[in-house]
Amino acid sequence: MKERTPKKPNWDRVEGILTKEGRELLSRKNVAIIGVGSLGSEITRLLTMAGVGNFVLVDPDKLDESNVLRHWADLRDVGKFKVTAVKKLIKQRNPDVQVKTFPQDARINPCIFPGLDLAIITGLGSNDAQFQIAENTKQVGITTLATAIYNKGQGGEVFVVKPNEGPCYACFSTYLNRSINAEVRNGKIYCANVNPEQAPSFPALAVQINRIATIAAEYAIELLKDSVTLKNSEKNLLIFSNTKLLLGKSAKDGHEIYLDPLRAVSYHIPKYPDCLVCGSYNILSDLTIEELLTQKGGD
């Protein structure tokens, strides 16, 4: 006898934590995942199982054999666009979810941003991409989670960007990194970002990536629920270590500061006054990204 496949998931155990009202709230939320690779696909999987009802998936890449040991998709999806493969998996988990896919660079199609409740950025490579996404999310006024995995899976980060509050994503991006190491003063991190040698990179195990994805998904759920705890928190950066992780140097005596394995630490990243997107150059916000870079001496 052929086994019957259920048509819809049973939400009883999820609602035991989120409540029915909370789960229904998530079902009305619209989340963009910009970068549907190993980290982005796992975040998407977790948010789907929590009840998020609308996704916009943005990624120009196709799945290949090197992806499948860390990605939600598998060998059956090799050669397909990642957004197409992940959309199929979302629908298999919950047919009621609405999914829009954009197999292209997020900079090409800014129409993806209006109507979103949250944008999750999972490691943008180029400086231009970082600035363009920062400008788009700032103009639309949506909350953004910037997430990344460090080289060889040593750890990862989740950075919360709130509209019209504090630093934007460009303040935090590696493009605006102002020193070799961060300085820690009274629990606040300055000269934004961690050691560049631990900047986002490809080598990492799925178990290491999934720890960061779980943290990011929990942040996303709390933001979508309009959590008072996150709303009132001054800390906007969380760093998690899979292995012993160099955070930076003390401003007091220059000694190196490490985070032990499987530990998390939160910091406050201040707004960067000279940020091209939200800083003192904001008076030029009607200019294009290229013009902004020219004003600042870029090329």
CATH number, domain at 223?
3.40.50.720
Residue 148 domain flag = yes
Residue 51 domain flag = yes
Q: Whole-model pTM above 0.85?
A: no
Residue 238 domain flag = yes
Residue 289 domain flag = no
| CA–CA separation, 182 and 173 (whole Å) | 13
> What is the count of structural domains for the chain?
1
Domain housing 234? 20-181+194-242+262-273
pLDDT band at 285 (very low <50, low <70, confident <90, very high): very low
Residue 295 domain flag = no
Q: Give the three-class secondary structure for 161.
A: strand
Lowest mean pLDDT among 53-57, 162-166, 172-176, 288-292: 288-292
Residue 61 domain flag = yes
Return the higher-pLDDT residue of 250 and 37.
37
- Across 75-89, 151-165, 223-237, 246-260, which has the greatest mean pLDDT? 75-89
> How do residues 221-273 score in pLDDT, each as one tens digit?
999 998 767 767 888 999 999 999 998 888 788 889 999 999 999 988 888 77
- Give buried/exposed letters for 63-98 (b at 16+ CB in 10 A, else e): beeebbebbbbeeebeebbbbbbbbebbeeebeebe
Residue 186 domain flag = no
